[in-house]
């Protein structure tokens, strides 16, 4: 949680680089301490898995992603270093846990406050899936309204409302504004996805607004929203 808390913190050094050397907010120092704690936690997990790989029950248990990475490390140690493995573990933990759980919480809140949407989704599921089994990934092609619920939730409450900073690699003009090379750019995805000039009643939960637009979403070239790569 500290990682997410600090990642959303405002740092004056990002806007006035001279303050990075001063450490006015103390954020840099706290981030260094956090990185050390995080790396130790990850390394302890790696060492624990290394020990269990030598045990007799290793072959019989379900393999984790880290197990696979450690196997690759044995074959190509120069590529799959502990640092690389720690980085991949961090990506899975940070990008695959808090973001997913936060989105599900918003989806549940929106559905509970819009019972008619739940009824439509349930009717669609009963029609195409029935009540004898759970939904599988292959079923989503036949559940457009459910996909609309997911996309509408992400539109209203993106997991990353303010995208990570990007640096302009060359001089360019964006929306009539000159952007010199080396400029740090911050994209407010939430503002784009809730702009009343683009979306009718943006603060109203309307899953049907995105029905039939999935192919168009795939063709959108600006990689700045929840539907981007």
106-129 pLDDT, tens digit per residue, is: 999 999 999 999 999 999 999 999
Classify residue 54: in a domain, yes or no.
yes
Classify residue 62: in a domain, yes or no.
yes
Classify residue 52: in a domain, yes or no.
yes
Instruction: Collapse the DSSP code of 151 into the 3-class scheme (helix H, G, I; strand E, B; otherwise coil) and give the result.
Output: helix
Classify residue 207: in a domain, yes or no.
no
Classify residue 165: in a domain, yes or no.
no
Task: Name the domain count of the chain.
Answer: 1
Residue 181, pLDDT above cutoff 90: yes
Classify residue 17: in a domain, yes or no.
yes
- Domain span holding position 31: 1-99
Give CA–CA dist 188/160, Å, rounded: 9
Classify residue 181: in a domain, yes or no.
no
pTM over 0.85? The answer is no
Classify residue 172: in a domain, yes or no.
no
Continuous segment of H or E residues that includes residue 36? helix 27-53
Give CA–CA dist 224/43, Å, rounded: 33
Residue 224, pLDDT above cutoff 80: no
């Amino acid at each position: 949680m500290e990682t997410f808390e600090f990642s959303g913190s405002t740092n004056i050094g990002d806007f006035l680089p001279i303050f990075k050397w001063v450490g006015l907010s103390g954020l840099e120092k706290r981030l260094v301490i956090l990185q050390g704690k995080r790396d130790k936690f990850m390394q302890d997990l790696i060492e624990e898995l290394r020990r269990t790989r030598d045990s007799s029950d290793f072959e019989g248990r379900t393999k984790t992603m880290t197990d696979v990475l450690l196997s690759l490390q044995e074959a190509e140690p120069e590529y799959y270093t502990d640092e690389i493995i720690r980085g991949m573990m961090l990506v899975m933990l940070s990008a695959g846990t808090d973001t997913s759980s936060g989105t599900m919480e918003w989806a549940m809140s929106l559905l509970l406050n819009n019972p008619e949407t739940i009824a439509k989704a349930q009717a669609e599921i009963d029609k195409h899936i029935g009540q004898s089994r759970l939904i599988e990934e292959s079923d989503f092609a036949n559940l457009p309204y459910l996909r609309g619920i997911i996309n509408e939730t992400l539109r209203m409450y993106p997991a990353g409302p303010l995208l990570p900073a990007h640096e302009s690699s060359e001089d360019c003009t964006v929306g009539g504004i000159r952007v010199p090379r080396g400029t740090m750019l911050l994209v407010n995805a939430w503002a784009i996805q809730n702009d009343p000039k683009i979306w009718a009643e943006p603060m109203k939960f309307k899953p049907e607004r995105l029905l039939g637009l999935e192919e168009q979403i795939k063709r959108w070239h600006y990689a700045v929203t929840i539907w981007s790569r």
